[in-house]
Amino acid sequence: MVKIFFPSWHESYTYSFIKKPIDELEGQELFVKAITAIYDKSESTEKILDALKRYIEKENPVGYTYFHATTCASLIAARQNNQEVTENFIQLWGKGYSTYWSNYSLAYLMRDRKCAEYLLKGSLASVFKLTHEIIQKETKEIIEALSNRMLSGRTLVYKKLSWKQLLDKISKIAIKQKIIDFSEDILVKKSLSKSPATKEEINTAENRLEIILPDDYKKFLLTSNGFECFSYTGVTLAPIDKVDFLIKVDKQLVGIWANSMDEINMTFGDKLKRSIIIGGLEEVQQLLLIPLKNKKWECWHFSSWRPGEVVYESFRFYMEGELQGLEDNLHVD
Amino acid sequence: MAKPSTKGLLKEILSDDIEWVYVHITNKAIEWSVAGFVDEANQLLEQLWKFNIPHSGHLWLPDEGLQIMWQISNKQPANIPFQFKEVSVIETENWSRFFFQVGTNRTHTAL
């Protein structure tokens, strides 16, 4: 079975401590020992639960590690039929979701009958700040929005904003959130935008590429010739003179992906070969514009870690999606 | 970083790819179900499924979690768009994802 979910610890890391009694360990070694001890039964379940409790309380794990530790503790405690301990760990697990939601998959405790029995008691309702009334209201809102979506198709949420207004809004929230470290220059001018491109610069690029670029992207360039990256999963949008076909910039990337996807998706490789890279040059993820045969365009956020592409109907949809993500992270429960 | 709000979900419903809209709404139902509101989650899912959006392969984990929650609570919604699996297989796979012996590729059998 492939361990896609779990970070494997190599023996070269664990050999110095894995045989020690769990009471003598602390920090990451304590956590690794606890998880391993469940498998090899080198410690009693009670000691393992104590170790995980100590690790969670004293070592202050964050993100995925917090999720992993509280999930493990909840699963083990539930199988021990220890109600108080199980409910405490499930509470900790639930509290972590509010902060580390992007590291969570809620399904893992549901996929275990013992844990599911505890979840059904509703002890996380107060942690998630949910009531029957709130849920009824949200159900109505969600179904109404979905009905509108199915009637009208995919629509832009911020279509009334000009490009300048949209980029200013993104800049303002991103700089406030400080997801990544910004340069002094950005902090002083309080903007992630660049100087506008000229029509001549855009024409020169279109002649060089022998293609007419989509209108929304050209309007963006006329507002800001590129845009700074503001998140770990985002891209730096390139100035127009750096924009080129992906196959010219990274032939190897296109070759690997196009060949590996041929059997699954016949159009993927063809699209990737025709794609134009507008962001993420020499970065972990790329932003691509794909000319379609019906003269329309797609915009792909492409990464090997996801893996693959997230398709947007246009560049504007991508940028609005980025703003939506920023706005949602500002939300305080 | 606060978890995504329902306000954000409403915007995603309007603008996101329909498969991801389907995934996001299902995940909202998962959140409610985990908090013990199984009836309410089922109500949302039943209404979602009426739109006949193709079921997403990205939801295999939540599908398995819901299956177990439904079976334990004896509250099953109508028109479920995916196949059930053997519960013991789900649990074994779930367990093996979290606990394993370092340095081997054997799957977990303890406890």
Q: What is the pLDDT of residues A25-74, one digit of tens each?
A: 999 899 988 888 887 788 999 999 999 999 999 999 999 899 999 999 99
Q: With contact defined as beta carbons under 8 Å apart, do A116 and B68 qualify?
A: yes
Query: Which structure tokens are listed for A203?
Result: 């024409």
Q: Give pTM, 2 decimals.
A: 0.80
Give the pLDDT confidence score for residue A179 in this predicted structure: 84
Give the pLDDT confidence score for residue B96 in this predicted structure: 80
CA within 13 Å, CB half, B50: 11
d(CA A321, CA A305): 19
Chain A CB contacts of B61 below 8 Å: 105, 107-108, 111
Give the pLDDT confidence score for residue A8 in this predicted structure: 58
Q: In this predicted model, which residue has the larger pLDDT, A36 or A147?
A: A147
DSSP-based helix, strand, coil % in chain B, nearest 5: 60, 0, 40
By Cβ distance, the residue of A39, A79, A120 closest to B100 is A39
By Cβ distance, the residue of A117, A122, A139 closest to B72 is A117
CA within 13 Å, CB half, A24: 6
Chain B CB contacts of A113 below 8 Å: 68, 72, 87, 91
Q: What is the pLDDT of residues A270-319, one digit of tens each?
A: 899 999 999 999 999 999 999 998 889 999 999 877 777 888 999 999 99
